[in-house]
Amino acid sequence: MINHHLSQDLHRNQLRSEANKNFQGTPAAPLKLALCASYKIPKMINIQTERTTLVTLSKSSAEMVRNYYFENKAHLSLWEPARDYEFHTLEKWQEFISEYEDSFNSGTAVKFIALNKTKTEIIGVCNFSNIVHGVFQACNVGYSVAKKYESQGYMYEILSAAIKYIFEFVGMHRVMANYIPENDRSAAVLNRLGFEKEGYAKSYLKINGKWQDHILTSKINPGTGT
C-alpha cells in the first residue's frame, strides 16, 4: 500500500540538467533526451510491505541510518566502498542527507530505508540513483540488509515493493543492479526478482578499497511497452 503525503512538483529545468549530467551516453550518441516534463515524486513516500515500512531517507532518520551503517560495518565491508571514521559520524550523515535531498528534489535519486513494524530499527536500505528520463528511463539500485535480518527473505520483500514504486510511480523502464561475482546472496536475490544478466564489467567499482569486476544485470518494466 502506498501513501503519498506532501506532493511536490519537480522543476523541469533542474531535471533536464541533472539528467544530462547523469546520462552515460557514448560520444557517438549525443544527449537528445526527450525528457518527461511533468512527473511527480511525492516528498514523503510510505510503502507497507508484509513485515516492513519503507520510507524515504530524511533528516529525522539521520541517527538511525548512522547506527545501521555503524552496527553493520563488518557485514557490509566486503561489498561496499571503504568507509573512513567520518562516514560513521552523525554530522556526516546529516550532510549526506542534505545532499541526497537536493538530488531527490531534482528527481535523480530516491533512497528508501525499510523499518521494522515498530519503526525503531532499520532492517535494510535500497537506493535508486542516476535516475534518467527521456529515451533511457533508467536508474541504478544499491541495497543491503542488516546482518541479523539476512537470509530471511527481507531483501526480496523490500526490493519487490521499492521496484514496483519506481516502475509505477517514477516511470522507470529499466532498473540496473551490479554485483561482485562472489556475492552469491546478491545474485540469488536479483535472480528471484527477475533481473537478467547483461554483461561483465572488469574493474568496475572501487569496493572495499580495490577496483573489482562486476556482473551487470537489469530488470525491465513490463508496463512501459515495447
CA–CA gap between residue 168 and residue 113 (Å, rounded): 19
CA–CA gap between residue 179 and residue 181 (Å, rounded): 6
Nearer to ligand COA, 93 or 143 (CB): 143
Stretch that binds ligand COA, among 2-10, 54-62, 103-111, 143-151 (CB under 6 A): 143-151
> What element of type H or E holds 212?
strand 210-220
152-181 residues near ligand COA, rule: CB under 6 A: 152-156, 179
Is residue 185 near ligand COA by the rule CB under 6 A?
A: yes
Residue 3 CB neighbours (<10 A): 10
> What pairs with residue 17 in β-bridges?
none
Is residue 144 near ligand COA by the rule CB under 6 A?
A: yes
Is residue 145 near ligand COA by the rule CB under 6 A?
A: yes
79-108 residues near ligand COA, rule: CB under 6 A: 79
Q: How many CA atoms lie within 13 A of 144 on its CB side?
A: 18
Looking at 71, 101, 121, 150, which residue binds ligand COA (CB under 6 A)? 150
User: Which three cell numbers, joined as nine digits, stand for 64?
Assistant: 538511525
Question: Which chain residues interact with ligand COA by CB under 6 A?
Answer: 76, 79, 143-145, 150-156, 179, 183-186, 188-189, 192
